[in-house]
Amino acid sequence: MSKERQLRKQEEVRNTILDAARDIIAKDGIRGLSIRKITNAIDYSPAIIYHYFKDKNEIVETLVREGYERILASIGSVKRNENEPEKEIREAFTRYIAAALESPEYYRAVMLNDDPAVLKRTRLLEKGISERSQTLQMLCSSIQRGVNQGRFTPCDIELTAQILWTSTFGLIIKLMVEKDISRDQVNRLIDHQFTVLFNGIMSRNEV
Amino acid sequence: MSKERQLRKQEEVRNTILDAARDIIAKDGIRGLSIRKITNAIDYSPAIIYHYFKDKNEIVETLVREGYERILASIGSVKRNENEPEKEIREAFTRYIAAALESPEYYRAVMLNDDPAVLKRTRLLEKGISERSQTLQMLCSSIQRGVNQGRFTPCDIELTAQILWTSTFGLIIKLMVEKDISRDQVNRLIDHQFTVLFNGIMSRNEV
Amino acid sequence: MSKERQLRKQEEVRNTILDAARDIIAKDGIRGLSIRKITNAIDYSPAIIYHYFKDKNEIVETLVREGYERILASIGSVKRNENEPEKEIREAFTRYIAAALESPEYYRAVMLNDDPAVLKRTRLLEKGISERSQTLQMLCSSIQRGVNQGRFTPCDIELTAQILWTSTFGLIIKLMVEKDISRDQVNRLIDHQFTVLFNGIMSRNEV
Amino acid sequence: MSKERQLRKQEEVRNTILDAARDIIAKDGIRGLSIRKITNAIDYSPAIIYHYFKDKNEIVETLVREGYERILASIGSVKRNENEPEKEIREAFTRYIAAALESPEYYRAVMLNDDPAVLKRTRLLEKGISERSQTLQMLCSSIQRGVNQGRFTPCDIELTAQILWTSTFGLIIKLMVEKDISRDQVNRLIDHQFTVLFNGIMSRNEV
DNA sequence: AATGAATGAGACTTCATTCAT
DNA sequence: AATGAATGAAGTCTCATTCAT
């Protein structure tokens, strides 16, 4: 009983720390994160951090993993669309873009991070990666289906998935850098992105 | 004579400093650059930097501008291809990608920078931007030509240019984040990128 | 209990720092104060300062305010002398001079400071200032009483107060600049200062 | 011939340096003076200073001496007024105040400087100083005459001179600290200063 | 006569981390 | 469990001065 409560209490403080860190990252970016800022925010002393985390890096890593998972989750619940896989893909990317744009600093922090520990989870460009990356796997399977059905032009599936992904990625990042693009223009860009890409991968007679 | 030599000598030291800074940036990134690291590398005292540069920022800015200009220059000399504008575009992007990948740190420093002073030069997503941005203007004019000739599907020219650009941008940045993609795979990706994009914008009967 | 002790201990270190700073200022002047000198004196590392103070400026400001208040306090408890206001004035100035000479560095730091923030509290020469400055108000009321009683020659009260003050101020500052005037000579100067000034403002038949 | 010209040339550069230093002191105060600022102003290299001056201090000292002399000069040409020595004193102080207020930063730099080298020339409060200080000597002689003629109350001449001086000094410095006192108010203060002081030293029947 | 190069000393400050309590 | 105290390393920058040329 007491032990359970202790554990719960412990978890609670851990979360308080992570919450604060999350807020700071959202505001100042990962490099703006400092132990002091965290402990100031939660009214604890700097030393407390080292009770719950090995070092600053462990916090960052925890958050990065979490961030990655949140982004993944956004596309997890997309419904399969048996006959029109491109709609499925579009739905997934639309959610993904929305999720990313909702926590831009955070998305950047994860996706532009070249720390090996982070990369282990975010790699996408390697040949054969689709076997290891769930994200790419899903994308590949949709594309494969499209090809099988004759809706998509035959192609190297993985490579196509990668290009779809990086293209979307480029749009997202650029939108984040140019913070003040109007809602309207954002939508037009996203829409045209799909137009071009799907036009690029779909069979002539399907469009 | 002596004056000339002095100037050369001076320029030399300046370059020594910039070289060292370039090396450090290549290794540790721009954030990893410090006055001390530079002067340690060149066996001078920290104060000497201020002989040749106003402050650390001037070094960074010099290097960043240099990097940016090198990249821009890469697409300056692309030859017009009257009848096949897509070849022209491909040529330009190919060079652009190569140049970017050669100075990844600078490319990132410029292109991911949301400082207003930098953005003034790098904005691309705004509606109507093609009138102000030389880069986009060139791209638009190529696309327009393609449309006029019936090689490209009629479309919103600017929007299409923006999507071509962001897609390429996404590939570049992702390649930079995943530093260790094999030369071969890089080429396959780039190649497939063009395949998809051009397939996406070109008229049916042209491919 | 433990908390109280901690607070006391903390206050103690804070005071140790302030003491050291006070010593250094007394010896080298405010400009001569440096973080390093302080921490050398108290055998700590420079960083510790920032544990107890926001920055160097906070130390200086603390000390300067303290010095200024000590000086102001000196004239706070002067007893009213209904029938001989000149004695009251003399008493106040005597204490004021003594207090100032006891913290010369701070007195100079405040009184020779033309920073607007400081001036807001130390202005005295403006017309109508006696309504805003407590110091001058007190002085004015004493003089007014003297005039009403016929002991002082009728005059512009505020102007007279200002001249009494600046004259004393001049003596104080000059004494500070010439640090080594003998105790004796200091007293003779102060004494003669009053002789001349009171002779200058008192009615003929009163002296 | 050539040697003479050389000397002249040399003297010229020396003066250029001093001019620049004077300007800087007038603007930024003595502590704002730096070798770099000087050589920037005159378009020379820092090292040149050490050709013409032993070190920075020699420049300061030169300027301080000069400043002192300029101030002295302002009262040098005051006409003697045999029968009304108070007019003579008033004339001298009036010029002195004007001269001081014309180069305030400079006056402060000299008169608030407690460097021994400077003090040697600016001391005034020591007993017996009137034998060494020309300034005080002149003031004493005027006062003495006034006493001899029965216009001034008998008194310790030197002490009186010192008090007249420090009182005026106080007004000057305070006026410098409160930079923005209106021309009008300045005149009223100066005027009242003389009223009080002369009333304070003159014989009853003379006023 | 003049200078460019170079430095050493020192200024303030931030940060992650450790440790005794 | 929690913390206050303390530090060492590192960061940028300024300045007076020296020296070979």
In the structure, what pLDDT confidence band is assigned to residue A204 with cuts at 50, 70 and 90?
A: low
B22 and B75: one domain? no
Within 10 angstroms of residue B25's Cβ, the number of other Cβ atoms is 24
Determine, for residues A199 and B198 on separate chains, whether the beta-carbon distance falls below 8 Å: no
Whether residue C143 sits in one domain with residue C46: no
In this structure, the answer to whether residues B187 and B138 fall within a common structural domain is yes
pLDDT at position C94: 96
Reported confidence tier of residue A10, pLDDT bands at 50, 70, 90: confident
Contact B163 A156 (CB under 8 A): no
B122 & B197 share domain: yes
Q: Give residue A100's pLDDT.
A: 93
Instruction: State chain C's mean pLDDT as an integer.
Output: 91
Whether C187 and C159 map to the same domain: the answer is yes
User: Which band of pLDDT confidence, cut at 50, 70 and 90, is reported for residue B204?
Assistant: low
CA–CA min distance C9, chain D (Å)? 38
> Which of C12, C37, C53 represents a domain boundary (last residue)?
C53
Do A69 and A128 lie in one domain? The reply is yes
- Taking 60 as the threshold, does the pLDDT of residue A80 lie above it? yes
pLDDT score of A155: 94
* Nearest nt to the C44 alpha carbon by C1': F6
Q: Residue D138 contacts by C-beta under 8 Å, 6 or more apart in sequence?
A: D75, D92
Structure tokens given for C7? 């607070």
- Average pLDDT in chain A: 90
> Does the residue C206 lie in any domain?
no
pLDDT at B143: 95
Tell whether A187 lies on the interface with B, counting CB pairs under 8 A.
no
CA D40 to chain centre: 29
Of C125, C159, C197, the CB nearest to D200: C197
Does the CB of A48 sit below 7 A from strand E?
A: no
> Mutate which of A64, A89, A114 to disrupt the B interface (most B C-beta within 10 Å)?
A114
Sign, CA torsion B168/B172/B177/B181: positive
Least confident of A104-118, B36-50, C52-66, C176-190: A104-118
Instruction: Locate D182 and state its tokens.
Output: 């209106």
For residue range B120-142, what is the model confidence (pLDDT) as tens digits?
Answer: 889 999 999 999 998 999 999 99
Lowest mean pLDDT among B66-70, C135-139, D36-40: B66-70
Q: Is residue C70 part of a domain?
A: yes
B160 contacts A196? CB cut-off 8 A: yes
Whether A71 and A47 map to the same domain: the answer is: no
Domain assignment present for residue D207? The answer is no
Per-residue pLDDT of chain D (207 residues; tens, 9 = 90+): 567 787 888 889 999 999 999 999 888 888 889 999 999 999 999 999 999 999 999 999 898 888 878 888 888 888 889 899 999 999 999 999 999 998 787 788 889 988 887 888 899 999 999 999 988 999 999 999 999 999 999 999 999 999 999 999 999 999 999 999 999 999 999 999 999 999 988 886 654
For the residues B59-67, what does the mean pLDDT come to?
90
Q: What pLDDT is recorded for position B1?
A: 42
Contact positions of strand F to protein Cβ (< 7 A): 1-20
Query: Is residue D127 left, alpha or beta, with left meaning phi > 0 and alpha meaning psi from -120 to 50?
Result: beta
Q: Is the CB of A45 under 7 A from strand F?
A: yes
pLDDT of residue D92: 95
Q: Answer yes or no: is pLDDT of C129 > 60.
A: yes
Contact with chain D for residue C201, Cβ under 8 A: yes
Q: Does C202 touch chain D (CB under 8 A)?
A: no
A189 neighbourhood in chain B, CB within 8 Å: 125, 159, 162-163, 166
Q: Of A42-51, A163-172, B27-36, which one has max mean pLDDT?
A: A163-172
CATH of residue C133's domain is 1.10.357.10
A206, part of any domain: no
pLDDT over 90 for what percent of chain B? 71
**C205: confidence class by pLDDT, cuts 50, 70, 90:** low
Whether nucleic acid strand F comes within 7 Å of the CB of A36, the answer is no
The answer to whether B170 and A169 are in contact (CB under 8 A) is: yes
Looking at the DSSP assignment, which residues form a beta bridge with residue D202? Answer: D152
d(CA B187, CA B195): 12
The subunits that touch chain C, with at least 3 C-beta pairs less than 8 Å apart, are D
Question: Is B62 a member of any domain?
Answer: yes
Q: Residue A9 sits in a domain of what CATH number?
A: 1.10.10.60
Residues C139 and C180 in one domain: yes
Q: List subunits contacting chain D, requiring 3 or more Cβ pairs under 8 Å.
A: C
Domain that holds residue A23: 1-53
C2 touches strand F (CB under 7 A): no
What is the spatial distance between Cα D164 and Cα D139, in angstroms, rounded to a whole number?
9
Residues B167 and B186 in one domain: yes
- What is the structure's pLDDT at C1? 42
A30 and A69 share one domain: no
Same domain, C126 and C155: yes
Q: Return the nearest residue to E15, CA–C1'.
A: A34
The answer for B43, left when phi > 0, alpha when psi is -120 to 50, beta otherwise, is: left
Selected for mutation to probe chain A from B108, B179, B195 (highest A CB count within 10 Å) is B195
CB B197 within 8 A of CB A192: no
Residue C66 and residue C36: Cα distance in Å, rounded? Answer: 22
Q: What is the mean pLDDT of residues C128-151?
A: 94
Residue of B nearest to A158 (CA): B189
| Domain termination site, one of A20, A37, A53 | A53
Give contacts of D86 with chain C, Cβ < 8 Å.
Answer: none
Structural domains in chain C (count): 2
Cβ-based contacts of A171 with chain B (< 8 Å): 163, 166-167, 170
Adjacent-strand bridge partners of C202: C152
Say which residue the tokens 């992702």 belong to: B174
Tokens of A58: 């462990």
Show residues of chain B in contact with A86, CB under 8 Å.
none
What pLDDT, in 10s, does the model give residues B36-45?
A: 999 999 999 9
Q: Same domain for B47 and B67?
A: no
Closest residue of C to D207, CA-based? C204
Q: How confident is the model over B172-197, as a mean pLDDT?
A: 97
C185 lies in some domain: yes
A47 touches strand E (CB under 7 A): yes
For residue B207, tell me if it sits in a domain.
Answer: no
